[in-house]
Amino acid sequence: MSLYTEITKLPRDPIIGLTELFKNDRRVPKYNLGVGVYLDEHGNVPVLESVKRAAQLLYEKREPCAYLPMGGLDSFCEATKKLLFGPEHSSNANIMTTQALGGTGALRLGAELLQRTKKVPLVVISEPSWENHRNIFESAGFKVKTYPYYDPNTNCFLFTQLLTFLKKLPKHTTVILHANCHNPTGIDPSEEQWQEILDTIRKFDLIPFFDLAYQGFKNNFKDDASVLRTYIKFEKPFLVANSFSKNFSLYGERVGALSIFSGSLEECTKIQSHLKNIIRSLYSTPPTYGQKIVEKVLSNEKLYAIWQSEVQLMRGRITEMRNQLVKAFEEENLTSFSFIKDQHGMFSYSGLGTMHAVQLREKFGIYILDSGRICIAALNKNNLKYVTNAISTVINEKTIQAKSF
C-alpha cells in the first residue's frame, strides 16, 4: 500500500496551471491571455529600463549575497512604506512592513499571523475574486465566504448588497479588498463608495486586508493607493499585501511586502516577533536580488522618474488595447462588449463562459480563464484580430447550438 493512497489528484490551478498547458501546446499561433502578465506590443515580457539600470548599478557594486534579515532590509521596507502610504509615513513606527514572496507570499504571511491571533472568525472575499484568495486563506486554516461584488448580467458593482452584507459580519471578520483594478472584474468602487465601505468596516470592527497588486496600473501610484491612505487615518488595525511583480515586470523574482498597521509599540514588537517566526519556519529569510532592484529604483530620483514613465506607458498601452478590442468586436458585429472600456487594470471579465474558454483553447490556441477573464495586457496589434475573430466564432457557434436544441 502506497503512502499516498489517501490523497487524491487535485484539479490544475486555474491560472498558473493554465500556463503549464499553454507551454506544452506546440501549435502556432497560440496566445496566453490567461495569466496576469503584461506583455509589450511584440508579445514579450518587458525588461524595464529602470530595472536594467538598477541591475547595472548592482552589478558594478557586486555586493556579497549574504542572508537578509528575516523581514527583509529596512531600506526596502521604508521605500515600500513610502510608495504605499506617502512620504509622511516612510518612518511611521505603527506600520510594520516586511518583505514577502510576492503578493501571494504577503497574503499568506498575513493569513498565518491572523490565525495566531485566534480572534478572526471568518475571512470574506469578493464574488468573484482572484482565484488564489480562497486557496491562501483556507490553506491557513480559515473558513472563507464570499461577499456580493459584481453582477455579471449588468456588469455592475453591487454596492448596496455589499454594505448590507458587511453590516451582518461578526467582529474581526477579515475582509479581503482589492485596493484597485479589481481582479478579475476590473470594476472598482467609486471614491464615495470606497468611503462608505471603509466607514462601515471601521464601524463594525472588521479587519480590512488590502490586496494591492496593480499600483500604477489604474491612475498613478498615489491615487491607486488612496484606500490605504484613507484607512490609515482611522488608526484601526489593517493589513496590506502589495506586489511588485506587475509594476516592475519582475514576476519571477517574487518581490512583495506585507504591511501591518497597529496602534501601539508593544503590539508592533509582538507582531514582528511572530512574523519572524512564521518566515523562519517557511523559508528562513527572503531572497536578495529582486528587492535590491526595487529598493534601488524607489530610492533613486532619476530611476524612479524613469520607472514612473514606464508604468505610465504600460497603463496607456492597456487602455489603448481596451479601446481597440471593443472596436474589433464591433467590426465582428459584437456590440455588447462596450463595458470593457469601463474596466480597469490588466483584465477584462468578458462574460464568456467555460465552454467558450475550452473552445478558444482547443480550436484556436487562445488561452483565457474558464471564468471568462481575459488578460488585455497580453493583447497587441498582431493578435487582436485573430482573437476577436475566434471569440466571435465560438459565440456564434454556441448560439447556433442553443437554437438547434
Which residues belong to the active site? 130, 211, 246
Query: 3-state secondary structure string, the chain?
Result: CCCCCCCCCCCCCCCHHHHHHHHHCCCCCCEECCCCCCCCCCCCCCCCHHHHHHHHHHHHHCCCCCCCCCCCCHHHHHHHHHHHHCHHHCCCCCEEEEEEEHHHHHHHHHHHHHHHHCCCCCEEEEECCCHHHHHHHHHCCCCEEEEECEECCCCEECHHHHHHHHHCCCCCCEEEEECCCCCCCCCCCCHHHHHHHHHHHHHCCCEEEEEECCCCCCCCCCHHHHHHHHHHHHCCCEEEEEECCCCCCCHHHCEEEEEEECCCHHHHHHHHHHHHHHHHHHCCCCCCHHHHHHHHHHHCHHHHHHHHHHHHHHHHHHHHHHHHHHHHHHHCCCHHHHHHHHCCCCEEECCCCHHHHHHHHHHHCEECCCCCEEEHHHCCCCCHHHHHHHHHHHHHHHHHHHHCC
Nearer to ligand LMR, 128 or 237 (CB): 128
Least distance between ligand LMR and beta carbon 36 (Å): 3
Least distance between ligand LMR and beta carbon 286 (Å): 18
Nearer to ligand LMR, 178 or 317 (CB): 178
The verdict on 183 binding ligand LMR (CB under 6 A) reads yes
Nearer to ligand LMR, 237 or 345 (CB): 345
The verdict on 15 binding ligand LMR (CB under 6 A) reads yes
The verdict on 185 binding ligand LMR (CB under 6 A) reads no
Least distance between ligand LMR and beta carbon 54 (Å): 23
The verdict on 134 binding ligand LMR (CB under 6 A) reads no
Grid cell in block for residue 254: 517574487
- Interface residue with ligand LMR among 76, 130, 217, 329 (CB under 6 A) is 130
The footprint of ligand LMR on residues 51-90 (CB under 6 A) is none
Nearer to ligand LMR, 35 or 73 (CB): 35
The verdict on 35 binding ligand LMR (CB under 6 A) reads yes
The verdict on 22 binding ligand LMR (CB under 6 A) reads no
Nearer to ligand LMR, 99 or 104 (CB): 104
Applying CB under 6 A, what is the total number of residues that bind ligand LMR?
7
The verdict on 19 binding ligand LMR (CB under 6 A) reads no
Least distance between ligand LMR and beta carbon 252 (Å): 11
The verdict on 132 binding ligand LMR (CB under 6 A) reads yes
Least distance between ligand LMR and beta carbon 27 (Å): 22
Nearer to ligand LMR, 39 or 395 (CB): 39
User: Of all residues in this chain, which one has the CB nearest to ligand LMR in the complex?
Assistant: 36
Q: Count the Cβ atoms, other than its own, within 10 Å of residue 230.
A: 14
Least distance between ligand LMR and beta carbon 131 (Å): 6
- Interface residue with ligand LMR among 18, 32, 36, 371 (CB under 6 A) is 36
Q: What residue ranges bind ligand LMR (CB under 6 A)?
A: 15, 35-36, 130, 132, 183, 213
